[in-house]
Amino acid sequence: MSAAPETFAAPTLPTPVAGVRAVDPGAGPDGAAAVRLCRTGEDVPAPADAPSGWIASAGAVAALSPDGSAGPGRWLVGVGAGSAKDWRAAGAAAVRVATGRAEPGPLFGAAEDGPARLHVAPDEAAEPDWAALATGLLLGSHRFSVRSAAPAAPPEVTVEAPAADRPAFERALVLARATAVARDLADTPSGAKSPAWFAEQAVAACAGLDGLTTVVRDEAWLVEQGFGGVLAVGGGSSRPPRFLEISWDPPSGTAGAPVVLVGKGITFDTGGISIKPNAGMADMRTDCSGGAAVVGALATIARLGLGVRVVGLVPLAENHVSGSAYRPGDVVRHYDGRTTEVTNTDAEGRMVLADALGYAVETLAPAVVVDVATLTGAMKVALGVRTGGLFATTDDLAVDLTTAGAATGEAWWRVPLAAEHDGDVDSRLADVRQAPPGPGGIVAALFLHRFVGDVPWAHLDIAGPARCDSPHEEVAKGATGFAARTLVEFVAARTPAP
């Protein structure tokens, strides 16, 4: 007998984040704690009021005693040499420390009740990267929680910024919210996060945005349409799969083939009959990080009003162990008619993506398809936990995605679709085999490539950077929301000039 829904705690979404706004230089509110951002360098002297030995490295904090004229507390926060990464780290450190959410120790100015109020001002020599600072401030305040106590009121942050720099600052805040949405969906524990729950939350995240429509298809529709991969993976769970489609049509009525973004939406992954070791299984609540990034990106694309048609597809399923679970040795028929020989039920992500890719190509006539997924442990081993793997059928597409990531602080490394391994995907029994031998990330990408035909296509493997165990810059422990900002910037770069 399955557990009742009330057995499991669900978060209240969205997670509160800092209210951040720009103000004129010198126009800080009375009664706010003060943060001064300081850069290092041979041309920049150390702050006169800095504690002895303090260096303004990125994210370094010094708490200063109140002097009666600067509000309830004062801090120095370092921005290092001033790279974009440094500014994200500084913004995150400022909002975390000044609200009592990080070390060091007892702090001046932490609010006892009500929201903390923080005023941020760069030193004259700081030369801010305003977009990176905004990203750090907003995402540094994001703390996902399912605690019984109500979350603390999010801090209110004012930032001294010249009028000419505010568009970049404010746009970055919008992009950062894409990441926050993705973190919330990916980090929610899977007891509460069924495929149906994920779809409902995605609909809520997209509600009220003109030009954005959401459709959720159930298991009956999946059977009727022949989504064999999604049905096979979801067949072992008492909570049936779903298929989420989010469509953005610009108000201007821009014509043309859409950009299609496809995200893996495995709401929990036991590995199925090819069961995972216990040590890594608890993190599998974040195996829907690709789908979460697509949801966050679509909502943000609509908020920005980008003049490109975009469709987001998220196949949603739980990969469980039961008498109805799919088996190694099974042959599954996908949406486009191709058949797959199953060799490892823990390679489930490519099974559900294959259906979604085939559906995109056949029904949407896309200009380009980009899928994003926590797909292979091999890619995590190869690239670590701060860089995503990028596979692309054209050089231009690879450059566009890498550039989009660099613009917003998400790193990608292109991995070859090595032709010498393409034959490894062939099956003696079916059209393709699901988990052939060879380099794991590459053969997984080559498997997916079979389902996109000649459409320009890229595959983003985020198995490493989708989760964080060691917080850094604006990234807290847990789901990171990685790829959401890259997808938005990728679409933005394809927007026609006015």
According to the model, what pLDDT value does residue 2 have? 54
Angle at CA of residue 22, ends 180 and 204, nearest 5°: 30
Q: Domain 19-169 is of which CATH architecture?
A: 3-Layer(aba) Sandwich (3.40)
According to the model, what pLDDT value does residue 125 have? 79
Q: Which of 143, 242, 338, 350 is the catalytic position?
A: 350
- Cβ(44)–Cβ(226) below 8 Å: no
Does residue 5 surpass a pLDDT of 90?
no
**Is 477 considered catalytic here?**
no
462: burial class by Cβ within 10 Å (0-12, 13-18, 19+)? buried
Alpha-carbon span 73 to 33, nearest angstrom: 5
Does residue 135 surpass a pLDDT of 70?
yes
Does residue 1 surpass a pLDDT of 50?
no
pLDDT digits (tens, 9 = 90+) for 75-100: 899 999 999 999 999 999 999 876 66
Residue 187, SS3 per DSSP: helix
144-169: average pLDDT: 87
According to the model, what pLDDT value does residue 220 have? 98
- Cβ(424)–Cβ(399) below 8 Å: no
Does residue 108 surpass a pLDDT of 80?
no
> Residue 267's closest CA among 202, 355, 327?
202
pLDDT band at 106 (very low <50, low <70, confident <90, very high): very low
- Cβ(356)–Cβ(313) below 8 Å: yes
According to the model, what pLDDT value does residue 105 have? 36
pLDDT digits (tens, 9 = 90+) for 415-458: 999 999 999 999 999 999 999 999 999 999 999 999 999 999 99
**Is 380 considered catalytic here?**
no
What is the number of helices (H) and of strands (E) in the chain? 13, 20
> Residue 227's closest CA among 352, 321, 361?
352
According to the model, what pLDDT value does residue 101 have? 55
pLDDT band at 145 (very low <50, low <70, confident <90, very high): confident
Least confident piece of the model among 62-71, 78-87, 138-147, 470-479? 62-71
357-375: average pLDDT: 98
- Whole-number percent of the chain with pLDDT over 70: 93
Question: Which is more confident, 225 or 61?
Answer: 225
Does residue 172 surpass a pLDDT of 90?
yes
Alpha-carbon span 298 to 291, nearest angstrom: 11
290-295: average pLDDT: 98
187-203: average pLDDT: 96
According to the model, what pLDDT value does residue 149 have? 76
**275 C-beta neighbours (distance < 10 Å), count:** 15
Q: Domain 193-493 is of which CATH architecture?
A: 3-Layer(aba) Sandwich (3.40)
> Residue 316's closest CA among 345, 351, 359?
351
According to the model, what pLDDT value does residue 472 have? 87
Kindly state the tokens that stand for 138: 């907003």
Residue located via tokens 């009500």: 114
Does residue 300 surpass a pLDDT of 50?
yes
Does residue 4 surpass a pLDDT of 70?
no
Alpha-carbon span 218 to 141, nearest angstrom: 36
Alpha-carbon span 404 to 396, nearest angstrom: 12
So where are the chain's domains? 19-169, 193-493
- For 177, residues 6+ apart whose C-beta sits below 8 A from its C-beta are 17, 138, 296, 299, 300, 303
133-138: average pLDDT: 96
Longest dimension (CA), the chain: 79
According to the model, what pLDDT value does residue 67 have? 60
Q: Which of 21, 166, 171, 276 is the catalytic position?
A: 276
**Which amino acid would we find at residue 398?**
A
